[in-house]
Amino acid sequence: MQVWEHREHMADHLPDLNSGILAPVADEVTIEDFTVSGALPPELSGLLIRNGPNPFDGRFAGTDMLSWWVGPAMLHGLLISEGQAHWYRNRWVRTGDWARRFSPATPSGESHDQNVNVNVLHHGGQLFALGEGGLPFIIDEELATIGPTTFDGSLSGGSGFGGMTAHPNVDPETGELRYFRADWQAPFLRYGVLDQHGRQIVDQIIDLPGPAMMHDFATTATRSIFLDLNVAYDFSMLQHGAAIPLRWHDDRVARIGIMPSGGGTLQWVEIELCFIQHVINAYDVGSDTVILDAVRYPSFLRFDRGLGGFEPNPLGVAWRYTIRLGTGAPTVEETQLDDKAIEFPRIDDARIARQHRYVYAVEQPTDIEMRGVIKYDLTNDRTQRYAVPVGDQNAEPIFVARRPQRAGGDEDDGWLVVCVYRAATDTTDVVILDAQDIEAAPVATVHLPRRIPAGFHGTWIPRPAAQQT
Ligand SMILES: [Fe+2]
């Protein structure tokens, strides 16, 4: 989700959903002929997949950002190996909505009408498109939909309204998938763990007094961390014409919940009022300290009843929570890491739940721009920036580690893969940056002949060169 998606009442901020980077595409294509600048590294072998909203007729019907983010899921893929870009293709996920539109005789997906347009997960050798709750859809490596999955019933949720967050975490050592499901109806929060084969090993309901907006969470090697903050549901807003019943609540206590990753007792620690849309990472320090880094907003979706709309959101910045757990109540120290506005933070996925040194994120020079990439070196307190010209915009930077890593290779030994929209040509460049020096000229750029519209999250699936198609 992006910062400006809820701004349906802010007429002065409304971008045109059907022009520029936001404009959807109207068809599915497969392209095998590209112009490439620079030289694609021969070790860079894999599949880039990006998810996002894209209406079936290629136009958004509404004019507000809510109309944008609920658009049907479209996946975009680019296969690179042996120094070549082999294909780009875009495919809608074959959901129930898709079947009713394009294939009314096909019942596939109709009983699981999820819109899985937020993220892409690679787990247990399978690929999944994920939405904000609901069931994941299995997809193959050519972006064809296999269908929704409950992981043999693990995600059914008991009430028939199960599923998982769009931001589960795969532990890099155990291969366990840890996830939560925040719901507007009870149970408001559910936590689960699937082992590396997809078998459920933890299923726990966490007691909350009411539903809260939880888009992301964090894990360490031993703990799972939940965010119960100041944005929550207020269904009375529906009667006042609001398109979504979510708003900032000054009277809510903001708190972080920590519990053993295998389930058990959850401990809450209060923090300053805030909202966190995306976590950067979390990790253990010794046995009784947890570090949580996140993009923090001092306010978010503050609803002005007089105006009948949301106030502009301030932009998010990197923040650190140092939580000390002992025999007594937990304590927390809050530290601002930087003052630049960022979103879509990423690290090396192999560092998830382990100590990270480098963070990569999209810069937000204004609240309607995703423009530029910033790299933080938290050890040496240094930053680097990849500048994107005014008018162009970019998606989240995805770190791809060099495999095998070079002898003595650092955590940033690899590349950043970034989709950059070029306004002048209405096309997208997939830019490959040296992650150790993102200010240098790109290592390579794959020039797509058309745009990849703005969207949410993506992933990189490493692929042996022999598997190229
Ligand atoms: Fe997200």
Q: What type of residue is 287?
A: S
Gap from CA of 465 to ligand 1 centroid (Å): 30
Q: What is the pLDDT of residues 220-270, one digit of tens each?
A: 999 999 999 999 988 887 776 666 788 999 999 999 999 999 999 999 999
Structure-model confidence comparison of residues 240 and 469, the more confident one: 240
Q: How many CB atoms lie within 10 A of CB 251?
A: 6
Q: How many CB atoms lie within 10 A of CB 332?
A: 16
Gap from CA of 457 to ligand 1 centroid (Å): 7
Please give the pLDDT value at position 161: 54
Q: What is the pLDDT of residues 188-199, one digit of tens each?
A: 999 999 999 889
The pTM of this model reads 0.93
Q: Counting every residue, how long is the chain?
A: 469
Gap from CA of 2 to ligand 1 centroid (Å): 8
Please give the pLDDT value at position 7: 38
Q: Are 312 and 7 in contact (CB under 8 A)?
A: yes
Please give the pLDDT value at position 110: 46
Gap from CA of 408 to ligand 1 centroid (Å): 33
Summary mean pLDDT of the chain: 90
Please give the pLDDT value at position 468: 46
Residue position matching structure tokens 């306010």: 299
Q: How far is 259 from 310, CA to CA, in rounded Å?
A: 34
Q: What is the pLDDT of residues 74-133, one digit of tens each?
A: 999 999 999 999 999 999 999 988 988 888 776 554 445 678 999 999 998 999 999 987
Q: What is the pLDDT of residues 358-416, one digit of tens each?
A: 999 999 999 889 999 999 999 999 999 999 999 999 999 999 999 877 777 799 999 99
Gap from CA of 120 to ligand 1 centroid (Å): 11
Gap from CA of 78 to ligand 1 centroid (Å): 21
Q: How far is CA 454 from CA 24, 53, 360, 428, 442, in A?
A: 8, 8, 18, 10, 21
Q: What is the pLDDT of residues 440-459, one digit of tens each?
A: 999 999 999 999 999 999 99
Q: What is the pLDDT of residues 285-322, one digit of tens each?
A: 999 999 999 999 999 989 887 777 788 889 999 999 99
Gap from CA of 104 to ligand 1 centroid (Å): 31
Gap from CA of 40 to ligand 1 centroid (Å): 29
Gap from CA of 404 to ligand 1 centroid (Å): 29
**DSSP 8-state symbol, 13:** G
Q: What type of residue is 401?
A: A
Dihedral sign of CA atoms 152, 157, 162, 165 in order: negative
The percentage of residues in the chain with a pLDDT greater than 90, rounded to a whole number, is: 73
Tokens matching residue 352? 């998830």
Please give the pLDDT value at position 67: 76
Gap from CA of 259 to ligand 1 centroid (Å): 22
Q: How far is 328 from 147, CA to CA, in rounded Å?
A: 47
Structure-model confidence comparison of residues 16 and 335, the more confident one: 335
Q: How far is 243 from 162, CA to CA, in rounded Å?
A: 24
For residue 257, give the H/E element and its range: strand 255-260
Q: How far is 129 from 135, CA to CA, in rounded Å?
A: 9
